[in-house]
Amino acid sequence: MLVHLDLEFYSPISIKAAPLDVYASHPESKILMAAYAFDDSPVKVWTCEDGPCAELRDGLTNPNNQVSVWNCNYERTVLRAKGLNIPIERWLDVMVLARYAGLPGRLKDVAKIPMIGVPAEEKTKSETLLINRFCMPNKEGRRVMPSEYPEDWAKFVEYCRRDVATMRHVLNWLTPRFPFPNSERELWILDQKINERGLPVDVEMARHAEKEVARIAAHTGEELKALTGLENPNSVQQLLPWLKANGYPFDSLGKEFLAQALNGTDLTTAGREVVLLRTGAAKSSVKKFRTIVEMASPDTL
């Protein structure tokens, strides 16, 4: 049996600012609703206000069923974060099939292609506005509850239901016209496993390195203050005039200009030392330690 599925999810973390694992695993994250259908049966919607849904859980956990979604990585990661780890071999990604056929990667864009024949949707409130309202914190930093905007919540439920119907329609259109070779599916499964595994990092080392970078930066700041007498030598508006008075020939403190200033210019001894300190402090590579810690999957922390 094929289980067609689409999830809507809340997380206090922006999906644009954090890896999917971190986004999905946040303790305050929550599956808001799931639209689903078995084979060609009517689409149903379960919401977080309905309590446990044995029918859906049984369908997803049945090892004989395949789960059909648009962008498998999202649904699979979200479900795994909430305790339901479905092997990649049981997933069918309709987005991958669409891409194989040379179609766009967004379901909405595929649905607009006339030859596919997806029924036209009524013009209603933007789905993006509804996602922004219910799937992320509001300006006060809290989750907006369905009871606060019941009409919008009903529209959101209908959007979720419609996405499953549209995805199933696209799948049924693609399957006879662009059969997906077993070799391509095996490659896709391997690709998913490689991406899921990620890259090994030493998070503890990155934390210690970040602290050391902060210590060195503070020391460098004190040295710059002592050399220049400036209140804030990190300020371009303060440092640039001081450097120009010490033989610096450029109007920018970009790293390429700092490098050129060390070669064949009339920098004073103090000016040269300040340029060297500024060059070392401006290295962007050391900022990667913070990124490593923030981007690491929860199971590595």
Q: In this structure, are 136 and 212 located in the same domain?
A: no
Question: Tell me, what CATH number does 84's domain have?
Answer: 3.30.420.10
Q: In this structure, are 187 and 211 located in the same domain?
A: no
Q: In this structure, are 53 and 119 located in the same domain?
A: yes
Q: Which one of 177, 197, 217 terminates a domain? A: 197
Q: In this structure, are 155 and 233 located in the same domain?
A: no
Place of tokens 């979720």: 160
Q: Which residues contact 122 (CB under 8 A, 6 or more apart)?
A: none
Q: In this structure, are 132 and 253 located in the same domain?
A: no
Q: Which two three-digit tokens encode residue 152?
A: 């919008």
| 222-228 contacts at long range (C-beta below 8 A, 24 or more positions apart) | 223/277, 224/274, 224/277, 224/278, 224/281, 227/270, 227/273, 227/274, 227/277, 228/270, 228/274
Show the DSSP H helices in the chain as ranges.
20-25, 54-61, 72-81, 94-100, 107-111, 127-134, 150-177, 182-197, 203-228, 236-245, 255-261, 269-281, 288-295
Q: Which one of 197, 225, 240 terminates a domain? A: 197
Q: In this structure, are 132 and 230 located in the same domain?
A: no
Q: In this structure, are 191 and 137 located in the same domain?
A: yes
Residue 301 confidence (pLDDT): 52
Q: Round to whole Å and give the CA distance between 154 and 33.
A: 11
Q: In this structure, are 79 and 149 located in the same domain?
A: yes
220 CB-side CA count, 13 A: 18
Strands 2-10 and 30-38: antiparallel
Residue 125 confidence (pLDDT): 64
Q: In this structure, are 172 and 220 located in the same domain?
A: no
Count how many domains the chain has.
2
- pLDDT by position in tens, the chain (length 301): 999 999 999 999 999 888 899 999 999 999 999 999 999 999 999 999 898 999 999 999 999 999 999 999 999 999 999 999 999 999 999 999 999 999 999 999 999 999 999 987 666 668 889 999 999 999 999 999 999 999 999 999 999 999 999 999 999 999 999 999 999 999 999 999 998 888 888 889 988 988 888 888 888 889 999 999 999 998 999 999 999 999 999 999 888 898 888 887 689 999 999 999 888 776 667 778 888 887 887 765 5
Q: In this structure, are 98 and 234 located in the same domain?
A: no
Q: In this structure, are 13 and 64 located in the same domain?
A: yes
What is the span of the domain harbouring residue 44?
2-197
Q: pTM of the prediction?
A: 0.78
Q: In this structure, are 269 and 168 located in the same domain?
A: no
Strands 66-69 and 91-93: parallel
Q: Round to whole Å and give the CA distance between 89 and 186.
A: 9
Residue 123 confidence (pLDDT): 60
Q: Which one of 167, 197, 227 terminates a domain? A: 197
